[in-house]
Every structure is written in structure tokens, then in C-alpha cells.
Chains A and B, each alone.
Chain A
Amino acid sequence: MLILTRKPGESITIGDDIKITVLDIKGSHLRIGIQAPKHLMVHREEIYLAIREQNIKASEYAATQKQQIEEILSKLATVIQKPTP
């Protein structure tokens, strides 16, 4: 891992179009500004991992328990109304 020391207001560039700026430091909290192309996803790591894990779980359960899931969804669907896609 490349390790660099930066002060508030200073930046790091990655490639031609990514810029990471240290905005300020308060105690143990560091605020960071990130400029990156729109197609690149920038997420807090723990959120990214939680969502990824949840998606994988959602897909797995949906695949293995077809019959039960259909029943659960049908039952729940009667409780909430229809959306309009």
C-alpha cells in the first residue's frame, strides 16, 4: 500500500480524473472530499459490504426456497397495495 502524508486542504490525484482532498480533521474524524467520474461508485466500505452481502443473501434465499417464498410473498402482497411500474 502506498502511504502518503497530507495536510488539510491538500490532495492526492489518482490517474487523470480522480482527486481526493483532505478537508479537515477533528479529533479522530477525517473529512475527505472525492472527485471521480460518474460511473465510478464511491461508498463507505462498511456500507458497500453490507449491501453487497444483503444482495447475495436475497438472491440465494430466493433461489433455494421457491415454493415457500412464493407463499410468503403472496401473503404479504395482500397486506400492501400494488405499485405502478
Chain B
Amino acid sequence: MEINTTRFGNINYGDSPVINMRGPILGFEHLNRYILINQKEASAFWWFQSVDDGAVAFAVVSPFLIKEDYAPELRDDDAALLEIKDQSDVLLLGVVTIRSNPTQVSVNMRAPIVINLKQKLGKQIVLDDDSYDVQHRIETDSN
């Protein structure tokens, strides 16, 4: 199975698990299937690449790496929708927004993408807790 992507050219995703969205990435309601591509080997960043539209991909990162005490509450109905039975099957991803000039990087901590790795199901959820920012800035200078 192959897809022509804007960023990675033609990729064969036969070996990658395809995540089926049970709830959309808001604004991309027409796209249901995604794969995860590591930004670079061993990088903390991943690309959440649409299989339905090669031009659509989101840089994503675990929100737990951005905020140590991140404690999102998954609602029961979302857990049921994603058929989550075991917490260890869950992967959370924060959507990264990058502006290059000046360099500003933010992560959406309010609306993580929740993935059930076992069932390969996903949804972008919206947390009730308004202390989590849609644009949580991360420092781009390593000093």
C-alpha cells in the first residue's frame, strides 16, 4: 500500500499500523486514517500523516515530555468510544505548531490526540481543564 505525501514522497505504509479515527482532528473531519512516522530515528517528534490526503500531516509529540505533571482526564464515553480497556494501550499525542520566523513552537495540550494502540483507534479529545493551553509554548533555545 502506497501513498504519495508532500513531505516524504511516496511511502509504502504496508508495515505501519493505520489508525482509524473515531473522532476527527478538528478541521479535518473528512480524513479518517493516519499513520505515525518518526521524524528521525529516535526523535521525540513524530508525524501524524494522513493516509487519505498525502498533503496533510501534523508534527506531534508526547505531551508528557512537554509538561511533567500533565494529567489529562479521559472521559468514560471517550474511553468507551476508543474501546480502551487497559491504560497501557493508550498513546497521547500533542499537535505541534511551528512558526519559523521568529521561531516559535507550541504544543496543543488542551486537545491531545488519544490513540488506542491495540485497537488502532484514535480521537482528538478536548479536555475540560482550562489550565491546559491550546498553544503551550516550548522553548526553542536549548540554552
Binding site for B on A (CB under 8 A): 38-39, 41, 43, 47-48, 50-59, 61-63, 65-66, 68-70, 72-83, 85
Known contacts A51-B134, A57-B97, A62-B59; is A81 also within 8 Å of B81 by CB?
no
How far does the alpha carbon of A76 sit from the alpha carbon of B62 in the complex, in Å?
13
B65 touches A81 (CB 8 A): yes
A80 touches B65 (CB 8 A): yes
B14 contacts the other chain (CB 8 A):
no
Known contacts A47-B126, A82-B43; is A72 also within 8 Å of B97 by CB?
no
A73 touches B142 (CB 8 A): no
Q: Is the interface of B mostly helix, strand, loop or mixed?
A: mixed
Contacts of B142 in A (CB 8 A): 75, 78-79
A74 touches B43 (CB 8 A): yes
Contacts of A51 in B (CB 8 A): 26, 108, 110-111, 124, 126, 134
Q: Distance in Å from the Cβ of A84 to the closest Cβ of chain B? A: 8
Q: Can you give 27 A-B contacts (C-beta < 8 A)?
A: A47-B110, A47-B134, A51-B26, A51-B124, A52-B26, A54-B95, A54-B108, A54-B134, A55-B28, A56-B27, A58-B108, A59-B28, A59-B56, A61-B97, A62-B59, A63-B56, A66-B7, A68-B100, A69-B59, A73-B96, A74-B39, A75-B140, A75-B142, A76-B138, A78-B142, A80-B65, A85-B46
